[in-house]
C-alpha cells in the first residue's frame, strides 16, 4: 500500500471519530499554524535586534576605547572582537526563527496535516 492510501485511510478514521468537529478541528489547526508562524517571525526579529545591539557594542568597544587611550586599548579591542564573535551566534537564531516563521505562514495547511498525522501515530 502506498503512503497516499495509508494517509486517506487514517484521515477517514479520524473523520469518523470526530464527526462534525473534524472541519472545526482543521480550521483551528490551520489558524494555529499561522499563529506559530507569526510567533516565530517576532522571535526572529527580537534576535535580529539583539544582533544589531551586539554589533553596536562591539564597534564601540573596538573604536571608542582605542581612540581614548592608545597605550592601553589592547584588551578593549580584543574584548570587542570577542563580543563580535559571540554576537554572530545571534544570526543562527535570526535565520532559524525567520525561516520557520515564513514557512509556517506560507503553508499552514501542511503543518495542520503534519499535526494530525503525528496524533494518529
What is the arithmetic mean of pLDDT over 2-21? 73
Q: Mapped to the 3 state alphabet, what secondary structure does 57-99 carry?
A: HHHHHHHHHHHHCCCCCHHHHHHHHHHHHHHCCHHHHHHHHHH
Q: What is the pTM of this model?
A: 0.71
Helix (H, G, I), strand (E, B) or coil at 69: coil
Q: Judge whether 30 and 108 are in contact, CB under 8 Å.
A: yes
Which residue did the predictor score with more confidence, 49 or 28?
49
Helix (H, G, I), strand (E, B) or coil at 50: helix
Domain ranges of the chain: 46-112
- Quote the pLDDT of residue 117: 76
- Quote the pLDDT of residue 59: 83
- Residue pLDDT, tens place only, 59-113: 887 776 656 565 555 666 777 788 888 888 888 888 899 999 999 999 998 888 8
The secondary structure of the chain in percent helix, strand, coil, rounded to multiples of 5, reads 90, 0, 10
68-74 own/partner pairs: CB under 8 Å, 24+ apart: none
Which residue did the predictor score with more confidence, 37 or 58?
37
Amino acid at each position: 500500500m502506498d503512503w497516499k492510501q495509508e494517509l486517506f485511510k487514517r484521515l477517514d478514521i479520524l473523520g469518523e471519530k470526530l464527526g462534525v468537529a473534524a472541519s472545526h478541528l482543521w480550521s483551528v489547526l490551520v489558524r494555529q499554524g499561522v499563529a506559530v508562524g507569526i510567533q516565530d517571525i517576532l522571535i526572529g526579529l527580537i534576535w535580529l535586534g539583539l544582533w544589531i545591539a551586539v554589533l553596536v557594542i562591539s564597534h564601540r568597544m573596538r573604536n571608542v576605547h582605542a581612540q581614548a587611550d592608545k597605550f592601553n586599548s589592547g584588551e578593549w579591542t580584543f574584548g570587542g572582537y570577542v563580543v563580535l564573535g559571540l554576537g554572530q551566534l545571534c544570526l543562527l537564531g535570526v535565520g532559524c526563527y525567520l525561516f520557520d516563521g515564513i514557512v509556517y505562514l506560507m503553508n499552514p495547511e501542511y503543518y495542520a496535516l503534519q499535526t494530525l498525522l503525528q496524533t494518529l501515530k
